[in-house]
Copies of this chain bind each other. A is one copy, B any other.
Amino acid sequence: MKNVNYKLYLVTDRDVIGNRSFLECIEEALKGGVSILQLREKKISSLEFYDLALDAKKLTEKYDVPLIINDRVDIALAIDADGVHVGQEDLPVKVVRKIIGDAKILGVSVTNLEEAKRAIEDGADYLGVGAVFPTVTKKDANFTGIELLREIREKYSIPVVAIGGINEGNIEKLNGLCDGAAIISGILGQKDIKKAAEKINSKLIWIK
A interface residues with partner B (beta carbon < 8 Å): 45-48, 50, 71-75, 77-78, 86, 88-92, 95-96, 99
A47, B92: Cβ atoms closer than 8 Å: yes
> How many angstroms from the CA of A78 to the CA of B100 in the assembled complex?
10
> 6 nearest interchain CB pairs?
A73-B74, A74-B74, A45-B89, A46-B90, A78-B95, A47-B89
Known: A50-B95, A72-B74, A74-B91. 4 other contacts (CB 8 A): A46-B71, A73-B77, A77-B99, A78-B91
Nearest CB in chain B: distance from A124 CB, A: 16
> How many angstroms from the CA of A80 to the CA of B89 in the assembled complex?
20
Most buried by B among A47, A72, A96: A47
Contacts of A73 in B (CB 8 A): 74, 77-78
Contacts of A72 in B (CB 8 A): 46, 74
Contacting residue for A91 out of B50, B71, B89, CB 8 A: B50
Contacts of A90 in B (CB 8 A): 45-47
> How many angstroms from the CA of A50 to the CA of B74 in the assembled complex?
13
Nearest CB in chain B: distance from A200 CB, A: 30
> How many angstroms from the CA of A99 to the CA of B48 in the assembled complex?
18
> How many angstroms from the CA of A155 to the CA of B198 in the assembled complex?
59
Contacts of A77 in B (CB 8 A): 73-74, 99
> How many angstroms from the CA of A40 to the CA of B99 in the assembled complex?
21
Nearest CB in chain B: distance from A122 CB, A: 14
Contacts of A74 in B (CB 8 A): 72-74, 77, 91, 99
The chain B residue sitting closest to A79, CB to CB, is B95
Contacts of A99 in B (CB 8 A): 74, 77-78
> How many angstroms from the CA of A75 to the CA of B99 in the assembled complex?
10
> How many angstroms from the CA of A45 to the CA of B90 in the assembled complex?
6
19 pairs, A vs B, C-beta closer than 8 Å? A45-B89, A46-B71, A46-B72, A46-B86, A46-B91, A47-B89, A47-B91, A48-B89, A50-B91, A50-B92, A74-B74, A74-B77, A74-B91, A74-B99, A75-B91, A77-B99, A78-B91, A78-B95, A78-B96
